Amino acid sequence: MKRLLVLTLGLIMAFTGFSQKAPPNMPHFDDKPFHFGIILGVSSLSTNIVGTTELPLYDSIYGFSSIRNAGVQIGVISDLKMLSFLHLRFIPTLVLTDRTFEYNIVRRGNLTDVKNSLEVIYLEAPLEMKLMSKRYGNFRPYLIGGMKYVYDLGSIKRKKLNPDEYLMKLEQNEFFYTLGVGFDFYLPMCKIGLELKSSYGLSDILDHTFQNAYTDCIDKMKSQMFYVNLTFE
């Protein structure tokens, strides 16, 4: 990730220096009141787990953690110009990834690890504000902020499993707030954007009606996601 960020910043600096000398491409693109585009990217999903203040009677569980997993996403951009520097965007997106938990369990005096992976198919409905700086030739940076509703289509498939086949049950619906930064590059035929975004879950996704040794030691769970996206408009 560090190498990716360094490479990204280097490309942005190089493109900025070149674009300031070259004639601007599509000088009236941002004057359009409404336009569409597509978004492609990779994501990283992790889960923030808060344990209970007191451990339950199941003393065999020594610890637990969430493993960060990579995924892919594709979506459609609907962009509405509100002010010259402020746009409203609605970006329905499909995200494919996994959610993995690891438990440290003591069995017969030996410490072993138990992993539980859940398929995640997120259908996201983000509503974002895009706050842009002035345009520098063919380059324009911007900030992102907004909220989104997420429905996990993977939960439909998990409902068909037997209770013995999973360690916990998760809620289907989630709400996130999103913060990020982006950079638009104006080409002769289209505008390409690079975005770095983080989304933080607001709701507890653990279904507390399903209880066992693996859930009694957890107070709440919230999702965290990081995105590296390319936009084409």
pLDDT single digits (tens) 174-217 = 999 999 999 999 998 899 999 999 999 998 888 888 777 777 77
Most confident segment among 54-68, 70-84, 103-117: 70-84
Residue 92 is given by DSSP the state -
State the residue range of the domain holding 38: 2-232
Count the domains in the chain.
Answer: 1
pTM for the full predicted model: 0.80
User: What's the pLDDT score for residue 5?
Assistant: 54
Q: Alpha-carbon distance 210 to 170, whole Å? A: 9
User: What's the pLDDT score for residue 57?
Assistant: 47
| Chain centre to alpha carbon of residue 83 | 27
Provide the CATH number for the domain around residue 30. Answer: 2.40.160.20
pLDDT in tens, 28-50: 888 889 999 999 999 999 988 88
In the numeric block, which tokens belong to residue 103?
């438990």
pLDDT in tens, 93-140: 999 998 888 877 777 667 777 777 888 899 999 999 999 999 888 999
Alpha carbon distances (Å) from 139 to 27, 130, 177, 189, 196: 11, 15, 27, 15, 16
Q: Alpha-carbon distance 81 to 59, whole Å? A: 57
